[in-house]
Structure 1
């Protein structure tokens, strides 16, 4: 027995040294690769206390994971059960090398309580995996990766837990050394294995052999798991917590600003994986391919080639596949991301509506849009590769500062005869209304602007518009990858805004709202911005907009992605509509921050939709399903897309902006 103990200690020591050495080599290589990429990350490590709180809430508390109820509960059971097993497994590792090591000898009461809890939590892991196996074999959601990698992880983990419980069971039967910790009575569930398998009927040698077999299987599986993790999708076990800790803390998100004037830059956007920054690479490492992003993505839901999960996976595979060139500093040898043999095609990039559903639902806070928008930027600025119909839109924006190409001097024609003042005539206005291109030129948008003007005048608001001084906000060009054109438009508006220094800016378009609020500060214009959904509700609460008692009929409300997901404005438009319509509002299935995109974002308002089903038709079907006679919108693009979708379905549902409904409901 003593000879076996010596051999066991030696073998265990060598195995641990080998496993941890190989693990550390693989992790160091991943870290070196993360640090070797060329891109510069715009990141500031601040608010450490808040970040620690996020770790407790989202990682230890599993808050993000549990947003999807049953899978979230299953993952939480697996997470805590697996964590609970590790201290005892670590003790067993050390004990394999140093047999005299025993934590229970020093703190028997505390350690006994831990083992009691750990034994129960370990069983919860098997419950969680039972649901996972059921989901993979019976439910089989299309977005869930069904590969060997995932199945091996399930096998590894189940084997670790089962052998852990057999070790516990055998420990209750092994003769205790004088003064050693007594394991009897501390394993409430593992002890059941003793009676179930008749382990107590075995002889001392058989019990010892059973313990050693369970021990070596347990240790070999743990060490194999340790070596396997850095090269598998479960690399997220190492990367998820840092990625969550380092995530942007503010909900608002700005597109990365490219220094167009920097003569040292040889390329713009993301053309090769070597041009990623370290934070992008950490995002890639953190992904576990759970598929929640794909489940929510409007492109994936309508049979487009884009899957946010897949694009992250493809970039990670590309990065790891070209790592030798990157680590060696041979960046010229790194292939472009978009190439003939790459799964990241132009159709993949241009299918994105930038709705941000992928980022919003991701349990580990991956920023998918940074990859997509930066890749678009490279395609437009460096390759001149983009959908052909966008060329006319870019030309119109460059020549007339609006995507339709109408004369810039006619921007205020929509309000002729309405006594709407220009900012040049009323520079002390309380509110500068940035009307936007749709509200100024689109026939549907002009009617919304006219309704909004009447409501503002009815409420006695001192406001003014820029008129011909206003240019396109730059959102469409920026999200379509034309950063040069976007910055030209933004700078034009910034000079105008800084000339007037408005007290507050009102927008009737969520795209105007988002870019002026969150991205104009990058260019030196930082002003309070309010959406018309928020302002109208505030005016109503102040008693300046009183319902006239007329019913607006049966209503449902469609959330604009750039209000709800991008900026968290969900409740004000609903409260407003309920107040104006005697509390009546019928909700669709997908609402708020889980709302479904209309299909117009990311520049897709001005692109053809030739792949898969039309996104707006998919949303129109959901509108029809509510039975409402009117669908309210808070975005001129959404209003247009919903109208087209409902027309395609030949539905008698009317689309109205909330400004039009408030105009009807007040006097």
Structure 2
């Protein structure tokens, strides 16, 4: 057995001096090409608008945690996430290994005479890198299998926003790029192992190499196979020489192409994760005072972070798969919006000098531009942002582009009329402000006016809960529950206006700021401890966006309030309901604000059997009303998201009640129940109605649910 303290690998063994010089020239050339690409990308980002980023240390910690745990990648696609982890950690270890060799061979040894790449360190180094290389190859092979044989729709790059006649319809170039990336990784990994095996066969007569071969287990097994098929040490030496150059040139080409290809995501994706806004979409940005017009018209209107987001997209298709608009055939795929903008940015911002202003306009029908119909198809449900493994913020970008459309009057006439109505009356129904609390007249008790007397809880009711006749029944039911529980609560009466959540997501920022400022003023003038609302849309904007305008209030959705009242015994329950139910998570309560548990806890307390739909909690499917789409008519003959959801619920055997906890959900799903053919099979009810049916009243006016 050879002395393990002497074992190492001679990097350029039997290479002539001119071969070594040539390799270094090629290496420096690759580094130069890489550096120029990095410069071009940084210049592109700098052409976007500036953005202040804080908390760098915490952001870096979060990014490292995301990378090490792969938590954003394994969500809802565990196999792909685990395969990516094999590729990521394998590549990272191989990169570190190469850097370690470079550190000794090119820096420490020539400058200081320091050597460490020998002995036990070298042996463990060989073992770890063999395992890393095997993991990388296994991960890449699964990704190849996934693309070639599983035929996942989200990976086909079919564009719902273009027709075959459009010049940028064909995205076969992306498929070729994906396969080139995967094949490059496979070839680098496989040729590395073959190169290792041929070296072992070539030096099989040297005990310091051959006796310790199984510290490189994959290479050792391949070496024995080579010997078995008759490869001699001399033949291995010749084969090694040509393969060494092939492997080296492939690796150098890979490095050189990083800034110019999909490979750049190894840099842009972690950076995108680090720059992530935890409230992206939940809290939209204000229009800066120095900005001449609202929203984004030109690619240079984008913040540099958003331009980087475009490059971070790996085309995984998770947002494409999750999008409710895309699911019902609307001309929208969040992925394609991002890729179109990326193509546009690369075409217009990578040049040495910027094109004319007109050529920077991202709106229109040209290559890379985003269609108006695409932007208006978005429900701003946040499904795309929530599932994106690299933290691309699709919804804020779409809303910024909508702001420009609204400013120019490029919207549906009915939407424009609704916005005018809200500006005039303070609500989307066009009713007089004096009628906002008209629903209270049918109650046997008086509700306090919080503007005139102090209350413990201020109830922000919202438009649909105040004016829609069907929702008014639910609103009165909640008032009875609060009264029965002895809660000291009151209303703003005509002092309340539309909260503005959907107005803002439409893109009408000026109207939103008017509504928000008016509501904040009204709320501030009241004396109360906390705010409650039965409307998740109002809940989101008051909780997450009003603070930017000076309105910081403690606010709860009614489900958390009622759960607490039930737990405290302030609401007493009669016999269990025993209904077989499913629950629809409202986007603005669930995905936006993580309010998943309270409604389910209440259903359990009511004695209901909850059967979850396949898409639930953070993967819940949108009803289709968000982003102002409740005010925009759907194209005749097309499926609505609410109908799609009804089909999902209809597949549950024995379902009796489809439960919602949002006024807009109640409106959308009761209509969809009829139009999708499930009327008479189950009913749509607000959770409040089930609670009231189960609660013991001192004087019982409970609603019943026909099932």
* TMscore range, shorter length: over 0.9
Contact in 2 for aligned 1:274/1:331 (Cα 8 Å)? no
**1:62 and 2:73 matched:** no
Match of 2:119 among 108, 121, 132: 108
Given the superposition, is the C-alpha separation of residues 481 and 515 from structure 1 closer, same or farther in structure 2, using an over 3 Å criterion? same
Given the superposition, is the C-alpha separation of residues 520 and 91 from structure 1 closer, same or farther in structure 2, using an over 3 Å criterion? closer
Secondary structure of the structure 1 residue equivalent to 2:532: strand
**1:467 and 2:496 matched:** no
Contact in 2 for aligned 1:633/1:656 (Cα 8 Å)? yes
Given the superposition, is the C-alpha separation of residues 269 and 2 from structure 1 closer, same or farther in structure 2, using an over 3 Å criterion? closer
**1:45 and 2:54 matched:** yes
Given the superposition, is the C-alpha separation of residues 208 and 3 from structure 1 closer, same or farther in structure 2, using an over 3 Å criterion? closer
Match of 2:267 among 238, 252, 262: 238
Partner of 1:338: 363
Task: Give a deviation string over 1:66-118, Cα, whole Å, max 9, x none.
Answer: 11111111111111122222234446668998998999854522332232122
Equivalent residue runs for 1:177-216 within 5 Å: 184-198=213-227, 201-216=230-245
Partner of 2:430: 405
Contact in 1 for aligned 2:104/2:116 (Cα 8 Å)? no
Match of 2:419 among 349, 371, 394: 394
**Mean alpha-carbon deviation: is it higher for 547-556 or for 8-17?**
547-556
Q: Using the alignment, how far apart are the partners of 2:227 and 2:204 within structure 1?
A: 20
Equivalent residue runs for 1:489-528 within 5 Å: 489-500=515-526, 502-528=528-554
**Mean alpha-carbon deviation: is it higher for 634-643 or for 144-153?**
144-153
Q: Using the alignment, how far apart are the partners of 1:92 and 1:52 within structure 2?
A: 27
**Mean alpha-carbon deviation: is it higher for 181-190 or for 316-325?**
181-190
Q: Using the alignment, how far apart are the partners of 1:29 and 1:479 within structure 2?
A: 34
Task: Give a deviation string over 1:262-291, Cα, whole Å, max 9, x none.
Answer: 3x4322201111100011012112111111
Equivalent residue runs for 1:110-259 within 5 Å: 110-144=121-155, 145=157, 147-175=175-203, 184-198=213-227, 201-249=230-278, 253-259=282-288
Q: Using the alignment, how far apart are the partners of 2:512 and 2:631 within structure 1?
A: 15
Partner of 1:35: 46
Contact in 2 for aligned 1:240/1:364 (Cα 8 Å)? yes
Partner of 1:78: 87
Task: Give a deviation string over 1:578-605, Cα, whole Å, max 9, x none.
Answer: 1112x52111111000111111100001
RMSD: 2.5
Partner of 1:602: 627
Q: Using the alignment, how far apart are the partners of 1:312 and 1:185 within structure 2?
A: 48
Contact in 2 for aligned 1:469/1:496 (Cα 8 Å)? yes
Partner of 2:659: 632
**Mean alpha-carbon deviation: is it higher for 141-150 or for 236-245?**
141-150
Secondary structure of the structure 1 residue equivalent to 2:154: coil
Given the superposition, is the C-alpha separation of residues 521 and 95 from structure 1 closer, same or farther in structure 2, using an over 3 Å criterion? closer
Q: Using the alignment, how far apart are the partners of 2:145 and 2:14 within structure 1?
A: 46
Contact in 1 for aligned 2:455/2:527 (Cα 8 Å)? no
Aligned-pair CA distance for 1:550: 4.3
Q: Using the alignment, how far apart are the partners of 1:142 and 1:238 within structure 2?
A: 27
Contact in 1 for aligned 2:462/2:499 (Cα 8 Å)? yes
Contact in 1 for aligned 2:281/2:396 (Cα 8 Å)? no
* TM-score, reference length from structure 2: 0.88
**Mean alpha-carbon deviation: is it higher for 167-176 or for 474-483?**
167-176
Given the superposition, is the C-alpha separation of residues 200 and 117 from structure 1 closer, same or farther in structure 2, using an over 3 Å criterion? farther
Given the superposition, is the C-alpha separation of residues 207 and 380 from structure 1 closer, same or farther in structure 2, using an over 3 Å criterion? same
Q: Using the alignment, how far apart are the partners of 1:496 and 1:665 within structure 2?
A: 35
Partner of 2:166: none
Q: Using the alignment, how far apart are the partners of 2:414 and 2:313 within structure 1?
A: 34
Q: Using the alignment, how far apart are the partners of 1:44 and 1:186 within structure 2?
A: 46
Q: Using the alignment, how far apart are the partners of 1:366 and 1:181 within structure 2?
A: 49
Partner of 2:7: none
Contact in 2 for aligned 1:396/1:404 (Cα 8 Å)? yes
**Mean alpha-carbon deviation: is it higher for 540-549 or for 514-523?**
540-549
Secondary structure of the structure 2 residue equivalent to 1:556: strand
Contact in 1 for aligned 2:454/2:527 (Cα 8 Å)? no
Q: Using the alignment, how far apart are the partners of 1:609 and 1:552 within structure 2?
A: 37
Equivalent residue runs for 1:270-285 within 5 Å: 270-285=296-311
**1:14 and 2:42 matched:** no
**1:585 and 2:610 matched:** yes
Given the superposition, is the C-alpha separation of residues 17 and 56 from structure 1 closer, same or farther in structure 2, using an over 3 Å criterion? same
Given the superposition, is the C-alpha separation of residues 453 and 175 from structure 1 closer, same or farther in structure 2, using an over 3 Å criterion? same
Given the superposition, is the C-alpha separation of residues 177 and 245 from structure 1 closer, same or farther in structure 2, using an over 3 Å criterion? farther
* Unpaired segments ≥5 residues, structure 1: none
Q: Using the alignment, how far apart are the partners of 1:475 and 1:128 within structure 2?
A: 43
Q: Using the alignment, how far apart are the partners of 1:171 and 1:596 within structure 2?
A: 56
